[in-house]
Amino acid sequence: MKQLLTGMLCAFFLSGCGIDYDGATKLVFEGRVTGADGQPLQGVKVSTQISNSTDMDIISYDFTDSNGRYLMIFPKPDEKVNIEVIVNSSVDENTLSRTGIFNIGLGQFEDFKIDFGTSALYETENSVTLHINFPNGIQPLKIGLTGLVANNLVDYNFNEAPEDGVTWPDNDILVAPDQVITLKYMLSNGSVLETEIPIGDTDVTFNVE
């Protein structure tokens, strides 16, 4: 009897979890994936992930077509969720880089749609390492990189100060050689600064001035 009661209580509380969706409202994500040379990449898996503190759904996915384009349409989740798009989300091992676009707010849709533009991926076999040093006493609240990065995290709402601490990537970041990366960072006063980092064919340590 006690076990039955415990089971019923668990079922009751678990039924209160999960992510709620509004089936009548359909949100649209679209974009394009290219290689480092700017040519469209076909067959790259792109996923939309919805999560809250207890649950996670891969609510939609698509494979890029011959023009590198993807389209994902899915029911609108409730307000208190994280929405993330993962470009190259295939679980099969591949050598392509990966980009996660996160911090997508429901207020950022225009006519229920977001076009993420072009995400460029590269073959990560020939990566170099980028290490970024900030001057003593400066601790940015968040940083973002634009360029060919092996596991890039793109904050879609970069200019909004983080609510839950500092968004900070790994110390050593794998990037493609022979490119210029744009580093964007937010200082504790909320100001956002940008600087360019030239990358050659060897590992780089970049000191922010």
User: What is the binding site for another protein (CB under 8 A)?
Assistant: 18, 20-28, 57-62, 70-76, 111-113
Q: Residue 33 Cβ, how far from another protein at the closest point, in Å? A: 14
Cα separation of 143 and 187, whole Å? Answer: 9
In whole angstroms, how close is the CB of 14 to another protein at the nearest point?
11
- Asked if 48 contacts 85 with a C-beta cutoff of 8 angstroms, the reply is yes
Q: Which CB sits closer to another protein, 32 or 76? A: 76
Mapped onto helix, strand or coil, the DSSP state of residue 126 is helix
User: Can you tell me the distance from the alpha carbon of 89 to that of 5, in angstroms, rounded to the nearest whole number?
Assistant: 41
CB of 28 to another protein, least distance (A): 5
Task: Give all strands of the β-sheet with 98-102 in edge-to-edge order.
Answer: 56-63, 45-51, 82-87, 98-102, 151-155
Give 21 or 158: the residue with its C-beta nearer to another protein: 21
Please state the closest distance from residue 45 (CB atom) to another protein, in A.
10
Element (H, E) at 3: helix 2-15
CB of 47: closest distance to another protein in angstroms?
Answer: 8
182, 152, 147, 150: which is closest to 167 by C-alpha?
152
Question: Is the Cβ–Cβ distance between 140 and 134 less than 8 Å?
Answer: yes
Output 27 or 149, the one with its CB closest to another protein. Answer: 27
Residue 192 exposed, middle or buried by CB count within 10 Å (0-12, 13-18, 19+): middle
Pick 30 or 203: Cβ nearer another protein: 30
Beta strand pairing call for 82-87 and 45-51: antiparallel
Compute the least distance from the CB of residue 103 to another protein, in Å: 21
In the complex with another protein, the residue whose CB is nearer, 114 or 199, is 114
Nearest to another protein of 19, 197 (CB atom):
19
